[in-house]
């Protein structure tokens, strides 16, 4: 520990976008002379970046805030993120919180913190989300293998269950030239892979008159970055042109995270989603026709108000038919100030639990089947570092998690790995064949 320097610790809840923004705030603190320490260490300042996508997320945020207040009662505690924008007064009621910063002020945190110690009164910096037009760029650092690059923020969609537009405002972005500059800055961290992240990244360009296709074409030309992944993108915004470009690119990987939310058209309409299941299936089929090896991660909400047993089984059979590679399953969470909070037909918790279990079993089967279909192949893996003697882990281009025997020379490199067998720990055991490199794949 560097005596004389103030210490700051960060704790991030929620999505990849939050992680990119935490990293950017951390760099601001470093520029002001702070020493960053782990959240398990004692610090002079704790910054908690929050999520509010579900009631469970809110509860976890409150628990985390109290944990750090208990760890260092004399430390300054600042809370930022979606929960801070949506419910600042609720956070301010927690004794020991010093600052609560909404969407417009979180990137001013180091300056708003000042040089003083703890105050008796909580300061809240909040904004009318409808007036927020600024785009605050962000990317994550500290990982030798990948960086999350924020390319878009906010959402103009108003799904009946979602508070994200209330927490992050309207869809907006930096111009492509500026995003490319951010990607070029990431190359100096010796990072091989960038994950493009945002709230609704397929909507990129609404504030600058550009398009997501134009963005990925420009990013493809950034020297030093070997791999790109596209994080969650709405099915109605996946165009044939985007699919064709990704299929032809040597850098953009066969990996798509596409929210479905329900496989029932009736429930999709109640959710106010901008597609039906036929369009969703069409997009999956289009991608598979160009990139047969693609990994599909799919979001599903269970127990939406009015979801009958017939609706659920209709959705279940649809998912079985489409065969995604993995399901991210969420029980419906009632959020205040959303239309769905007032919908009739609340689902009993026991029914939700049963449906969650059924979909979890299906997801596990689909995931294992996807892994097994590539056994015996040699695929490019970006290897992550590990402590000596431990297994090294990494991901193939199509997002298969792979384990390798420890070899320090492999860390941070993209290498050809033969996939041998599926482990019961959620990864595939692999080995590096002699005389095979990623360049030959």
CB 18 within 8 A of CB 197: no
**Residue 246 clears pLDDT 70, i.e. is over it:** yes
pLDDT on residue 71: 87
pLDDT on residue 117: 64
CB 305 within 8 A of CB 267: no
pLDDT on residue 437: 54
**Residue 233 clears pLDDT 60, i.e. is over it:** yes
Bigger pLDDT: 121 vs 99:
99
CB 166 within 8 A of CB 155: no
Q: Is the pTM of this model over 0.95?
A: no
Summary mean pLDDT of the chain? 94
Strands 378-383 and 326-331: unpaired
Task: Measure the CA–CA gap between 49 and 322, rounded to whole angstroms.
Answer: 36
pLDDT on residue 178: 97
**Residue 2 clears pLDDT 90, i.e. is over it:** no
Please give the share of the chain, as a percent, with pLDDT higher than 90.
Answer: 86
CB 428 within 8 A of CB 395: no
Task: Measure the CA–CA gap between 395 and 439, rounded to whole angstroms.
Answer: 16
Q: Is 334 exposed, middle or buried (0-12, 13-18, 19+ CB in 10 A)?
A: middle
What domains are there in the chain, each with its CATH number? 7-127 (3.40.50.12160), 146-370 (3.80.30.20), 378-440 (2.40.50)
Q: Give the pLDDT band of residue 389 (cuts 50, 70, 90).
A: confident
pLDDT on residue 121: 81
pLDDT in tens, 188-198: 998 999 999 99
Strand order from edge to edge, sheet including 35-37: 35-37, 7-12, 45-50, 76-81, 99-101, 123-125
Q: Give the pLDDT band of residue 440 (cuts 50, 70, 90).
A: very low
**Residue 263 clears pLDDT 70, i.e. is over it:** yes
pLDDT on residue 114: 74
CB 400 within 8 A of CB 426: no
């Amino acid at each position: 520990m560097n005596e004389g320097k103030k210490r700051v610790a960060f704790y991030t809840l929620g999505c990849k976008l939050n992680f990119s923004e935490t990293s950017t705030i951390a760099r601001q603190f470093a520029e002001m002379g702070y020493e960053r320490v782990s959240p398990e260490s004692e610090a002079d300042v704790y910054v908690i970046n929050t999520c509010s996508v579900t009631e469970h997320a809110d509860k976890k945020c409150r628990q985390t805030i109290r944990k750090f207040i208990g760890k260092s009662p004399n430390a300054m505690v600042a809370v930022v993120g979606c929960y801070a924008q949506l419910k600042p007064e609720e956070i301010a009621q927690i004794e020991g919180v010093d600052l609560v910063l909404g969407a417009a002020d979180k990137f001013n945190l180091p300056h708003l913190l000042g040089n003083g110690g703890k105050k008796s009164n909580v300061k809240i910096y909040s904004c009318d989300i409808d007036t927020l037009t600024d785009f605050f760029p962000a990317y994550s650092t500290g990982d030798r293998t990948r960086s999350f690059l924020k390319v878009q923020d906010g959402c103009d969609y108003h799904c009946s269950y979602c508070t994200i537009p209330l927490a992050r405002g309207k869809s907006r972005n930096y111009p492509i030239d500026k995003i490319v500059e951010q990607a070029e800055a990431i190359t100096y961290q010796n990072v091989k892979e960038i994950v493009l992240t945002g709230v609704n990244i397929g909507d990129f360009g609404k504030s600058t008159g550009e398009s997501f296709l134009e963005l990925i074409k420009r990013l493809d030309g950034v020297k030093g970055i070997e791999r790109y992944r596209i994080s969650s993108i709405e099915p109605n915004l996946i165009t044939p042109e985007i699919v064709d470009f990704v299929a032809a690119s040597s850098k953009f990987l066969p990996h798509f995270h596409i929210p479905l939310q329900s496989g029932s058209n009736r429930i999709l309409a109640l959710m106010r989603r901008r597609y039906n299941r036929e369009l969703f299936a069409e997009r999956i089929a289009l991608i598979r026709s160009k990139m047969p090896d693609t990994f599909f991660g799919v979001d599903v909400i269970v127990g939406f108000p009015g979801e009958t047993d017939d609706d659920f089984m209709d959705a279940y059979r649809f998912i079985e038919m489409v065969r995604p590679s993995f399901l991210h399953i969420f029980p419906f969470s009632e959020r205040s100030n959303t239309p769905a909070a007032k919908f009739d037909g609340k689902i009993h918790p026991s029914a939700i639990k049963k449906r969650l279990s059924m979909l979890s079993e299906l997801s596990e089967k689909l995931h294992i089947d996807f892994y097994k279909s590539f056994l015996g192949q040699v695929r490019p893996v970006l290897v992550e570092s590990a402590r000596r003697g431990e297994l090294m882990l990494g991901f193939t281009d199509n997002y298969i998690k792979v384990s390798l025997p420890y070899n320090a020379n492999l860390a941070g490199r993209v290498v050809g790995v033969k996939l041998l067998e599926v482990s019961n720990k959620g990864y595939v055991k692999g080995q590096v064949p002699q005389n095979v490199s990623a360049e030959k794949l």
